[in-house]
Structure 1
Amino acid sequence: MKILIVDDTKLSRAMIIKRIPDNVKNSSKIFLGTNGREAVELYKEIKPDITFLDLTMPEMDGFKALEIIRAYDPDAQVYVVTADIQAKARERIIALGAKGIEKKPIDESRIVQILATIQ
Structure 2
Amino acid sequence: MDILIIDDSVFSQRIIANLIAKHLDNVNTYFAKDGEEGLEKYKSIKPDYTFVDLLMPKLNGEELIKLINEYDLDAKIIVVSADVQKSIKEEINAHGVIEFINKPFTEEKAKTICEIIRNEKNEG
Q: TM-score, normalised by structure 1?
A: 0.90
| Separation (CA, whole Å) in 2 of partners of 1:12 and 1:58 | 15
Which blocks of at least 5 consecutive residues in structure 1 are unaligned?
Answer: none
Helix, strand or coil at the partner of 2:30: strand
- Is 1:37 paired with 2:36? yes
Shift of 1:23: 6.0
Helix, strand or coil at the partner of 2:56: coil
* Cα separation, partners in 2 of 1:27 and 1:68, compared to 1, 3 Å: same
- Contact 1:15–1:105 (8 Å) recurs in 2: no
Shift of 1:21: 3.8
Counterparts in 2 of 1:1-119, with a 5 A limit?
Answer: 1-22=1-22, 24=24, 27-118=26-117, 119=121
Deviations 1:14-71 (A, max 9, x none): 11122124363x6121000001111111111111111110001011000000000011
- Contact 2:3–2:27 (8 Å) recurs in 1: yes
* Cα separation, partners in 2 of 1:99 and 1:65, compared to 1, 3 Å: same
Q: TM-score, normalised by structure 2?
A: 0.87
Deviates more, 1:37-46 or 1:12-21: 12-21
Amino acid at match of 2:89: R
Shift of 1:108: 2.1
Amino acid at match of 1:115: C
- Contact 2:9–2:33 (8 Å) recurs in 1: yes
Count of matched residue positions in the alignment of Structure 1 and Structure 2: 118
Amino acid at match of 1:52: F
Deviations 1:51-105 (A, max 9, x none): 1100010110000000000111111110100000001110110112211110001
| Separation (CA, whole Å) in 1 of partners of 2:65 and 2:58 | 14
Amino acid at match of 1:11: F
- Contact 1:7–1:13 (8 Å) recurs in 2: yes
